[in-house]
Structure 1
Amino acid sequence: MFRHVLSLAVPACASLFLIACGNGEPVEPPVRPALVAQPVPAGQAFETYPGEVRARLESELAFRIGGKISRRLVDVGARVSKDQPLAELDPQDVRLQLEAVRAQLAAAEANLKLVRSERDRYRTLLGRQLISQSQYDNVENQYRAGEARLKQIRAEYDVAANQAGYAVLRATQDGIIARRLAEVGQVVAAGQTVFTLAADGEREVLIGVPEHAIERFRIGQEVAVELWSQPDKSYPGRIRELSPAADAQSRTFAARVSFVGDKVNAELGQSARVNVRVEGEVPLSVPMTAISAEKGAAYLWVVDQQSNSVRRVPVKVGSYGQERVSVLEGLKEGDWVVAAGVHVLREGQKIRPVDHENRPVEFAAQE
C-alpha cells in the first residue's frame, strides 16, 4: 500500500517542482521560418484596360420609310461598296402610292391644258370687246390655279418616286457590315437601325473606363496599345473621344483610342489592351498573401531588420491585381514584409526570414 501511494506522489511532486522552477513566466515561442519579400512598383507605372478594335467611323443604316423587310442581301462581316443594295422593303405600298400620284399628275396636266385654251379663247374675245374684263379675269384665275395645282402634284410625284427608291437600303460608303439588327419578315419603322457599317479607313480601340478612374483620363492623352495577335509590339495611341456619360449597364465610360503614326494592321473585332501611364508617384505593391485585415482595416507584418522580429503596420491598399495588390500608404520601398503565413504571427515575434527557395535572407542592415 505504501509503495502505491509513493508511486502517485512522486510525479505530482515533480510537476510542482517544474512549476516552481518556471516562476510562472511565459515560454518564448519558437523562431519560425517566414517567407519575406520586398515591395516593388505597382504595375510598372501603368494601368491596363481591355478593349476591342473598332472602325473610327461607324454608321447606323436604316430605311427612310417604314415597312416589312422582304429581302436581306448581305450578312455580318460582308465587305460592301458605296451604294450597294443591302436590304429591301415590300414595295407594294409605295408603288401603289406612286401610281396614285402619277394619275393625279395626268389629271392636273389635262386640266391645265383645258384652262389654258379657255384663257386664250377669252383673250381673243376680250380683244374684240365681246366679253367683259371680269369674265376674262375669272378665266385667268382658273388658269393660274390649274398651273399651281400641276406644280403641287409634280412635287408630290417626286416625293412618291423618292419613297419608292427608299424601299432599297444602300451602303453609304465602302466598309464592312459589323452588325445586323433586323431580319427578313420583320416590320421596321423609319429610322430604325438595320445594319451597322464599319467604314474603311482608320481603326481605333474602344475601352471602358471605370467610374473611379475617369478623372485620370483626358482627350489627347498619350497611351500605349497592344494587340493580342501581336503580343511583342506596342503601338503609340492617343485618347480621341471620351464619353460624358456612363453606360447604364456596365457603369463605365466609353473611350476611343486612335493609333498614332503609321498605319496599324488591325482587324475589326480584335482584342487589344490599352496601357495608361499613372501620373504622379507610383505606388508600391506586395503579394496578395501578405495582406491581412481586421475590422475592415488592412495591415502588413513588416520585419525589423535589426532583430528579425515582426511588427504590425496598418496600410492603405489600392487596386487588386491577379497576384499583387498596390499599397498607397504605410509602406516604404526598403521594407521587408512577411509574404505567407501571416495569420499565425504575433506582435514582436522573432522569425527566420527565407526566400522562395527556402534560403536565408540577409538584410542590408546586418552586413
Structure 2
Amino acid sequence: MLRHALSIVLPAAAALLLAACGQEASAPATPRPALVVQPQPAAAAVDSYPGEVRARFEPELAFRIAGKVSKRLVEEGQRVKADQPLAELDPQDVRLQLEANRAQLAAAQANLALVQAERERYRKLLDRQMVSHSQYDNAENLYRAGMARLKQAKAEFDVAGNQADYAVLRAPRAGLIAKRQVETGQVVAAGQTVFTLAADGEREVLIGLPEQQFARFAVGQAVSVELWSHPNQRFAAHIRELSPAADPRSRTFAARIAFDSTDAPAELGQSARVFVAHDGQVPLSVPLSAVTAEQGQAYVWRVGKDKRLQRAAVRLGAYGADSVPVLEGLTASDWVVAAGGHVLREGQQVRPVDRSNRDVDLAAKE
C-alpha cells in the first residue's frame, strides 16, 4: 500500500518542480552591467608638455643706485599695491651727496651774483670809455660761465634729489612678490634684481619645448591646457611667445601659453599640462579591449540611447600599447562597451556603468 502511494506522489512532485523551473526561466532577464567609455583623441596624435602657471607680466625690480639694504619691507608671496615701498637702502651716503650738491648750488649762485655785478660795473665804465672792449668782453664771458656753472650745479642737485628717492624701492603696479633675492644688510649694485613681481591680470603657462620639435611650433598656434586642480577639463589657449634661443642647461625653448578666455581658473604656481595636436585631423581612439573582429572586420559595440547594443564596424590605425586609433566608424559623442565584447549580441539591452560601477547617463556628454 505504501509503495503504491509513493509511486503516485513522487511523479507529481517532480512535475511541480519542473513547472516551477519553467516559470523561472521565462522571467525577464535583468540587463547586465556594461563598462562604457567615449572615444578620446588618439594619444599618438597629441603631444603634452608640463608647465607652470605664471603671470603675464613679471618685472624684475631693482634699485637704480648701489648701496646697502637697510630695510626689507615685504616677504616672498606677499601681495602688494602700486607704489608700495618694498625695500630701502642706507640713506647716509645719499644724504651726504645731496648736501654736497646743495652746497655747490649755493656756491654757483653766489659766484653768478658776483660776476653779474662785475659785468654791470664794466658796462657802465665802457659807456664812459674808461675801460676797453676787451676788458668788458672778459667780464661778459665770466658772467656766461657763471650762468653755465649754476645750471650744472642745479642739475647735479636735482640728480642727487632723485637718487635720494631711488633709495626706496617701490612696486610699479599691484601684484604678488614671486621671488625675493636680497636680505637686510646685503650690499647691492645698481640694477641688481631684488624682487620679482608677478603683476595682477592675465595668467599664462610657461613650458619648455624640445629642440628636435621646435620647428613645428609657431606663435598663435592653437593648443589646450589642463590644470591639475581641474582634471579632465581643458581650456582653449594659444602660443603667445617663443624664445629664440634654447636654455643652455635644459636645451629646451621656453614658450608662453596664453588662455583664450579670462575665465580660466589659473592661479600662480599651479601645475598645468599643455596639449598640442599634430597637423591634420586628430583621430579618436578606444581601448584595445573594446575592439572585436569577425571574418577580418573589426567592430565595437556601440550603446544606443535605448541602452541596446549596436555592432559598429570600424577602420583602425596602428595599434598602441593600450589603445588603438579609430579612423572611421565612430564619433566623439558615441558610447562604446570597453570590455567583454565577445559575450555580447546585437540588440542586447545593458546597464551602462563607469569604472566606479556608477550608472552612466548616455546623453550627458552628447
How far off its partner does 1:66 sit? 1.1
Given the alignment of the two structures, is residue 136 of structure 1 paired with residue 136 of structure 2, yes or no? yes
The CA distance in 2 between the partners of 1:326 and 1:192, in whole Å, is 53
The CA distance in 2 between the partners of 1:325 and 1:254, in whole Å, is 32
Counterparts in 2 of 1:326 and 1:98: CA distance versus 1, 3 Å: farther
Provide runs of 4+ in structure 1 moved above 3 Å: 280-287, 323-327, 331-334, 359-362
Q: In structure 2, what residue type is equivalent to 1:122? A: Y
2:69 and 2:90 in contact (8 A); partners too: yes
Given the alignment of the two structures, is residue 125 of structure 1 paired with residue 125 of structure 2, yes or no? yes
Q: In structure 1, what residue type is equivalent to 2:268? A: L
1:88 and 1:167 in contact (8 A); partners too: yes
How far off its partner does 1:45 sit? 2.9
Q: How does 1:45-84 map to 2 (within 5 A)?
A: 45-84=45-84
Q: In structure 2, what residue type is equivalent to 1:83? A: D
The CA distance in 2 between the partners of 1:361 and 1:92, in whole Å, is 88
The alignment yields a C-alpha RMSD, in angstroms, of 3.4
How far off its partner does 1:133 sit? 2.1
2:226 and 2:233 in contact (8 A); partners too: yes
The count of aligned residue pairs is: 271
1:237 and 1:257 in contact (8 A); partners too: yes
How far off its partner does 1:264 sit? 2.1
How far off its partner does 1:145 sit? 1.1
2:73 and 2:85 in contact (8 A); partners too: yes
How far off its partner does 1:135 sit? 1.9
How far off its partner does 1:211 sit? 2.2
Give the structure 1 partner of residue 165 of structure 2: 165
1:284 and 1:326 in contact (8 A); partners too: no
How far off its partner does 1:274 sit? 1.0
Give the structure 1 partner of residue 43 of structure 2: 43
The CA distance in 2 between the partners of 1:41 and 1:226, in whole Å, is 14
Structure 1 counterpart SS, 2:59: strand
Give the structure 2 partner of residue 218 of structure 1: 218
Q: In structure 2, what residue type is equivalent to 1:241? A: E
1:285 and 1:325 in contact (8 A); partners too: no
1:285 and 1:324 in contact (8 A); partners too: no
Structure 2 counterpart SS, 1:250: coil
The CA distance in 2 between the partners of 1:42 and 1:275, in whole Å, is 12
1:181-215 deviation line (CA, Å, top 9, x unaligned):
11111111111111111111111111111223222
- Please give the TM-score of this superposition, normalised by the length of structure 1: 0.66
Counterparts in 2 of 1:189 and 1:125: CA distance versus 1, 3 Å: same
* Gapped regions of structure 2 (runs ≥ 5): 1-39, 288-294, 297-317, 329-337, 345-366
Counterparts in 2 of 1:105 and 1:131: CA distance versus 1, 3 Å: same
1:101-152 deviation line (CA, Å, top 9, x unaligned):
1111111111111111111122222222222222222211111111111111
The CA distance in 2 between the partners of 1:247 and 1:129, in whole Å, is 79
1:158-187 deviation line (CA, Å, top 9, x unaligned):
111111111111111111111111111111
Give the structure 2 partner of residue 85 of structure 1: 85
The CA distance in 2 between the partners of 1:360 and 1:53, in whole Å, is 46
1:286 and 1:324 in contact (8 A); partners too: no
Structure 1 counterpart SS, 2:102: helix
How far off its partner does 1:228 sit? 1.2
Counterparts in 2 of 1:126 and 1:228: CA distance versus 1, 3 Å: same
- Please give the TM-score of this superposition, normalised by the length of structure 2: 0.66
Q: How does 1:136-155 map to 2 (within 5 A)?
A: 136-155=136-155
Q: In structure 2, what residue type is equivalent to 1:252? A: T
Q: In structure 2, what residue type is equivalent to 1:72? A: R
What fraction of aligned residue pairs are identical, expressed as a percent?
66
Q: How does 1:1-367 map to 2 (within 5 A)?
A: 42-43=42-43, 45-280=45-280, 324=321
Q: In structure 2, what residue type is equivalent to 1:59? A: P
Counterparts in 2 of 1:83 and 1:51: CA distance versus 1, 3 Å: same
Q: In structure 1, what residue type is equivalent to 2:52? A: E
How far off its partner does 1:325 sit? 8.3
Counterparts in 2 of 1:41 and 1:238: CA distance versus 1, 3 Å: closer
The CA distance in 2 between the partners of 1:51 and 1:41, in whole Å, is 21
1:81 and 1:175 in contact (8 A); partners too: yes
How far off its partner does 1:326 sit? 9.5
Q: In structure 1, what residue type is equivalent to 2:136? A: Y
The CA distance in 1 between the partners of 2:68 and 2:113, in whole Å, is 40
Structure 1 counterpart SS, 2:191: coil
2:219 and 2:240 in contact (8 A); partners too: yes
1:74-124 deviation line (CA, Å, top 9, x unaligned):
111111122211111111111111111111111111111111111112222
Structure 1 counterpart SS, 2:233: strand
The CA distance in 1 between the partners of 2:166 and 2:139, in whole Å, is 41
